[in-house]
Amino acid sequence: RLDYFVISYDKKEHDLWTEARGNFRNDFLKNIADPEMGKITKIDPYSRVIGMYMYNGTLVSIKLDCGVNYRGTRPEKKPLRLHGFDTKPINIRLKHLLVRDMTFLYFRDIPILALLHEGGGGDVFVKAYPLYATDIGNEFWSLENLDETTRVIEAVPTGGFLLISSTKVSYYDENRKCRSVELPHESDNTVIAAIDEDGSRYLIGDSYGTLHLLVIPDKKPMYTYILGKISVPRSIVYLDHAYVFVGSHFGDSQFIKLRSEPNEQGLFLDVIDSITNLAPIHDFCVMKMERQEQSQVITCSGGIRDGSLRIIRNGVGITVQADVQMAGITGVWPLRPYYGAQYDDTLVVSFIGETRVLRMLENSKIQEVYEYTVGFDMNQETLATNNVIGNLLVQVTRTFVRLIDLTSKKITSEWNPPDDNKITVADINPTQVLIATNGIELIYFEFLDAELVEVSRKRLFFEVSCINIHPLDTIDKEKSTIAAIGLWNMKGLKILNLPSLTVLTDMALDSFSIARSILLETFENINYLLVTVGDGQLYHFTIDPTRGLLLERKRFTIGTQPVMLAPFITNGVKYVFAASDKPSIIFSANKKLLFSSVNTKVSTPIHICSFLFHHRPSADMTASLVIIHSEGLTIGCIDEIQKLHIRSIPLYEMPRRIQHQESTHTIGILTIRAILDEATNSEKHIPYFKVMDDQTFEFYDYYALQPYETVFSLSSVKFDSEDDAPEYYVVGTGYLSNQVDNNTDRGRLLIFIVEKTEMNLNIRLVYQKEMTGTVYSALPFDEKLLIGVNGKVAVYELKTLEDGGHELIRVCEYAGFTLAVQVVTRGHFVLVGDILRSIVVLAYKDKENGSGKTLEFVAQDPYNRWAEAIEAISDDEFICSESSFNSILALRRNVKTEDLLKKEKLELTGSYNLGDSINRFRHGSLAANNHETLPDVTSELLYVTSSGAIGVIASISPQKYSTLLKLVEAMDFVLGDYGDIKRQSWRCVLNSRNEIMNTNRFIDGDHIESLLEQKPEDIKKIANRCKMNIDDMMKLVEELTRIH
């Protein structure tokens, strides 16, 4: 699209402002190819001009009118003018087409551009030209016969420039006198960054992840040091005070700190922090999580030495620390050894008819203790217990409220209801106790000199189902001024004043279920009331505690069963655990409540509390969770709380394909390992097929493929419908090097079986077949094998021979493709993605004479497109990502027409510019049971991209599409666009003639979800614009976030 814009940051408003915008597109240049060696952008060191190599043989120049001070080697820039400046692009023709790199040199009265380019015969040159306002001048000087592997040119502030080839670094001063230093080993890709302002020291990162220090003395020879290992860099920026940012495309980006002395590993650097990066994602699989209703995604990410598998799941995981089998638990509470302690050491566990006290030992063992039997009544069910001020302890049962001295464990005070009354619910905070007797009478207590003092009581018309007097931080951390209660009959709640028990707010909930749990809590200095009901719904409000007013009512679906709320703090941050059949953790970010699902293998949590172990290091303030379920209790430590959790399995090689085989509980992967051949000082690549456990991710076995062979496809296939029939891994390969023989147009099919031994699982090659072409695809189909080989697709069946061997027999094939690089199936339909013919739909059916099977043409996209990834949404609808413009296209078969020509054409029904290259679509979801709570969502596709993105495409109803379209249009109108580039224009697709195709049938989900981050005044304007109720609009968007 070649749009550009200049933005500035307003420190007072904390916002971005667009200073200028434009477009590089030129009708005269639209038919000129993109640069063969990639687009290049460089800025003059004195901020006078930007130079961009955007088309073959064409330099785009933009003058920067921002003013500079020319003193020193690094000029001080004046602020950009707020009223814009001259950014009109000027197209300047160059004499050279194959430009590898370029830079603007220092110390010149006018901008001097040095071009590193390749000549027609492969020779490499550097030529310098003056750059004027509208043209480029004559050649100043040139360097010829340079190393053919030279790829980088970097200007040096003191004058001259650096040239970097695969084996050495050369410095040319202003007089073009050269000094060079050899690099330790050959590297195809090298990144450089200056440390000092005078350019005397540089950091150099290579394709092996080695960071070098280059030193350029005034006159002495240059030299290098190896500092250590980093992620394979795409960019390096020296920040200050020895801190460096390493930006990586193949691994995690890093913040590192350089050292003057080596660390324990002998490295001169420390990795301070890493930023997760999944790019590039070559392939992925969707795998069900053990004993859970949701899936996780495992990606083949990264490359070179930074390749890894990434396990991505939605929600928070819990690492189990201890399990106790105790059926029939009704409640659990932590106790501290004394009131001011910063840790817990005791668990009180309640059952129907009894109470037990457990001590948590340093070795993570649990021991029952009896020291509380003096004051605690162990023969009753405990309703609530807690530490309170004065180093006291409160226990509430059906028949008493008891105050106990923690030192002597003796009772100091006790209150008992009348004989015909029972305590039904209770809550305790450090200074207060509130109970309900017989469900309808509230009684409020405080403490005075180790005595319980009844302060007030109130009789209600409806029974109390739940109580909470949790202090709000903004008022008092030890005492609450309000109480929140849920009611059985009226299906509502009340807010009461403390100590008077005067009703401040009386609210009915629009639910057929009863309030089961209620909680007052403060997040980010905002006071909230959360209440859950029996059908799994959660209501949350902001609350004014001085008047008891409930505001900003919102509703969220947690699960389908009653939800119990339990607050906890970890590392100083507050959270709420919502225990249900689909447990969630509630937290606040940017002053908005967020919900993250919990991935736990235990059965449905019934009750929960937090527990802070005292034997952990003082720096570790992570709370454990004690989860009560039908079989007992589980103690676990929660993961870092965020929307998605990503776990890395380092491979130190590039993973290319992945396949889960459920019957053997294994995962198969295809990898390519790059190693340094010391004999030739160059890289060589070895492909492998490897098998690992699908739970522990430990490797079982591997199989090395042949030299100069590369891997393209991997699938799991059963050739028999019997339940106990063996399942095979099928690998498809191709030979891409003429170093094997003259016939490079060949590949192999290899069939492996996983065999279990006493100690391990092994893989065995049971069959292999030479193919006349590269096997781009191989997948199961009708208990057979469907493959795509060069320009054809074919169906094979596996026959077992009399001697026990195997043979692949071709059933049928369909030829006529350019390259069938993608093949997927749906029922008896075969969808083929071609690099020229786009999508072709075939049908697998019986021949007319009944003599066998055939692949028959059904329909195809009439336009020439390179299909990078394809998938079938239904029997008649298909989706495709094409390579030229990084677009997603929706196509449909016309099954209603009687016109044969129309039936054979796939209609384009939707298009969407993603701006990224999709490598694979697969059916699946990261969220659990979306269709139960989102009935308008009928199907979902996941996709992965070269830049490391994981995306979701969901099919929605026409009614919801219409509603969301109005919402998007309202957001565009109210919010505007950064850079003054219209979102709708960006999402439109360009055809091969650079003409805009209108976007339809796609809604920009990322844009919709950004509504949750907008200012309240903008949200109100958007709701008014699209004529929607604010609560309904926000609920709609929040529901959509649950798709992923």
CATH code of the domain in which 112 resides: 2.130.10.10
Answer whether residue 631 is part of any domain: yes
Q: Determine, yes or no, domain membership for 866.
A: no
| Contact of 385 with 394, CB cutoff 8 Å | yes
Within-domain flag for 213: no
- Of 610, 642, 674, at which residue does a domain stop? 642
Distance CA 773, CA 793 (A): 11
- Same domain membership, residue 621 and residue 489: yes
Is residue 70 scored above 50 in pLDDT? Answer: no
- Orientation angle between helical segments 958-975 and 1016-1025, nearest 10 degrees: 130
- Determine which of 115-119, 600-604, 733-737 has the lowest per-residue pLDDT on average: 600-604
pLDDT in tens, 222-238: 999 999 999 999 999 99
SS3 content of the chain, % helix, strand, coil (to 5): 5, 55, 40
> What secondary structure does DSSP assign to 638-674, as a single string?
E---SSEEEEEEE-SSEEEEEEEEGGGTEEEEEEEEE
72 has pLDDT over 50: no
Task: Note whether 636 and 660 are same-domain residues.
Answer: no
Number of Cβ atoms within 10 Å of the Cβ of 898:
6
812 is a domain residue = no
Residue 568 has a pLDDT of 87
Q: 978-1027 pLDDT, tens per residue?
A: 777 788 888 888 766 666 666 678 999 999 999 988 888 999 999 999 99
Residue 928 pLDDT: 61
Residues 422 and 527 in one domain: yes
Confidence of residue 589 (pLDDT cuts 50, 70, 90): confident
Residue 828 lies in a domain: no
Q: 769 with 693, same domain? A: yes
- Burial (CB count <10 Å: 0-12, 13-18, 19+), residue 525: exposed
Do 460 and 555 belong together in one domain?
A: yes
Report whether pLDDT(752) > 90: yes
Is 90 exceeded by the pLDDT of residue 38?
A: no
Is the same domain home to 608 and 747?
A: no
Same domain assignment for residues 559 and 428: yes
Assign 502 a pLDDT band (cuts: 50, 70, 90): very high
CATH code for position 1037: 1.10.150.910
Mean pLDDT (whole number) for 192-210: 93
Q: pLDDT (tens digit, 9 = 90+) per residue, 341-398?
A: 888 889 999 999 999 999 877 766 788 888 888 889 999 999 999 999 999 999 999 9
- Choose one of 642, 671, 703: the last residue of a domain: 642
pLDDT score of 82 more than 50 = no
Please compute the mean of the pLDDT values over residues 897-917 and round it to a whole number.
89
Residues 569 and 705 in one domain: no
Note whether 465 and 591 are same-domain residues. Answer: yes
Assess whether 622 and 711 both reside in one domain.
no
Q: Which residues of 321-350 are buried (b: 16+ CB within 10 A; e: fewer)?
A: beebeeeebbbbbbbbeeeeeebbbbbbbb
Q: What is the DSSP string of 273-337?
A: EEE----SEEEEEEEEPTTSSSEEEEEEE--GGG-EEEEEEESEEEEEEEEEE-TTEEEEEEE-S
Give the confidence band of 81 by pLDDT, cuts at 50, 70, 90.
very low
Output the pLDDT for position 501: 96
Count other Cβ atoms within 10 Å, centred on residue 959: 9
Both tokens of 320, joined, read: 């189990």
Cβ atoms of 559 and 573 closer than 8 Å: no
Can you give the pLDDT at residue 67? 45
State yes or no: pLDDT of 1029 exceeds 60. Answer: yes
Question: Radius of gyration (Cα) for the chain, nearest Å?
Answer: 34
Share of the chain above pLDDT 90, in %: 55
Q: What is the model's pLDDT at position 615? A: 54
- Give the per-residue SS3 of 196-241: CCCCCEEEEECCCCEEEEEECCCCCCCEEEEEEECCCEEEEEEEEC
Is the pLDDT score of 171 beyond 90? Answer: yes
The most confident of the ranges 397-401, 958-962, 1001-1005 is 397-401
What is the pLDDT, as a whole number, of residue 33?
63
Structural domains counted in the chain: 4
**Beta strand 210-215 pairing with 201-205:** antiparallel
CA dihedral for 509, 510, 516, 518, sign (positive or negative): negative
Average confidence (pLDDT) over 722-732: 92
Residue 1038 belongs to domain spanning: 956-1044
How confident is the prediction for the chain on average, in pLDDT? Answer: 87
Tell me whether residue 494 is in a domain: yes
Predicted local confidence at residue 87, as pLDDT: 64
Residue 689 covered by a domain: yes
DSSP 782-828: TTEEEEEETTEEEEEEEEE-TTS-EEEEEEEEEE--S-EEEEEEETT
Check whether 71 has a pLDDT greater than 60: no
- Residue where one domain finishes, among candidates 642, 674, 690: 642
- Is 70 among the domain residues? yes
CA distances to 195, 260, 563 from 263, in Å? 21, 9, 51
The pair of three-digit structure tokens given for residue 406, joined into one six-digit string: 């923690």
User: Are residues 391 and 472 located together in one domain of the fold?
Assistant: yes
Verify that 704 and 737 share a domain, yes or no: yes
pLDDT band at 772 (very low <50, low <70, confident <90, very high): very high
**pLDDT on residue 267:** 94
Predicted confidence (pLDDT) at residue 202 exceeds the cutoff of 80: yes
